[in-house]
Amino acid sequence: MHPESPVCRVLVAWGNAWLAGHVGLDEAADRVESAGGPTVVGEVPLREHLAVLRGDGLSEFRLALPAPGDPLGLSGPPEFNAAAVEARQAVIAVLPERRLGLVPSSDRRGSSYVGVRMSVYEAGPVRHDLPSVAEAERELSGALRAATEALASVDGPAPGRPDRLGAGEGELAPGYPARAHRVAALAARLGTVLRLAGDRGLTSGQVAVRDAALRELDRAVRRALVASCHAILEPSPDRP
């Protein structure tokens, strides 16, 4: 599974909207599969697995977007953390007595079938030290300003600026507050810019300056995406 695939973000956003009654199960599953292709959890089709989880008391989905040295959204155990870091994304399904970690990988069968297989792990307790969407928006704005200032001192070809997001990359589901939609769209766009940044025409010193600036921006982008996907779980009075 490509680390930049939005499949986990889409599952968390539309899964939480489904649990809150804003969309139906079929619509939520369709959105997930539009992001990554036909999806199975273990060997079970996504729709069937989600229905079973709800019957078991599923209350919410949480998003993890870790990177090496930054286990964003993870709280163990080690086996789940390692798989999530390798995939650079994971979903945590919260049940009354346990949490299940879902880690995506590419599911290829034959020459034409391309989908997503979610491997299931036991997951640790939900982390409550993650930023709110308001906090993440401020962090993202600050990191963008700092990166812009740092990169202004680096000569060489500028990274491309995509005019459009990939389909669904910055899209949340019905029921999310306006600020969450705004932050998710900006973070997804900046994530695309980060992927397009290249080294051509730069000296080693310029690459070091650029990389330091982009690492901080990448961290802020990941925190903003996690916060925006969790915004539907924030208490209503705190929503802008």
* Terminal-to-terminal C-alpha distance of the chain: 34
Q: Between helices 7-19 and 25-36, what is the axis angle to 10°?
A: 180
Average pLDDT over residues 134-154: 84
Instruction: With H, G, I as helix, E, B as strand and everything else as coil, classify residue 123.
Output: strand
Asked if the model's pLDDT at residue 61 lies above 90, the reply is: yes
Residues 139 and 47: their CA atoms lie apart, in Å, by 36
Q: Is the pLDDT of residue 84 over 50?
A: yes
Please write the tens of the pLDDT for every residue from 167-205.
445 579 999 999 999 999 999 888 877 776 655 455 666
- Name residue 178's amino acid: A
- Of 56-70, 85-99, 184-198, which range is least confident? 184-198
39-68 average pLDDT score: 96
**pLDDT average, residue stretch 217-223:** 93
Q: Over 90: is that where the pLDDT of 131 sits?
A: yes
Q: What is the mean pLDDT of residues 68-93?
A: 96
Q: Return the pLDDT at 150.
A: 72
For the chain, percent of residues with pLDDT exceeding 70: 81
- Per this entry, what is the length of the chain? 240
Pairing type for strands 99-109 and 90-94 reads: antiparallel
pTM: 0.86
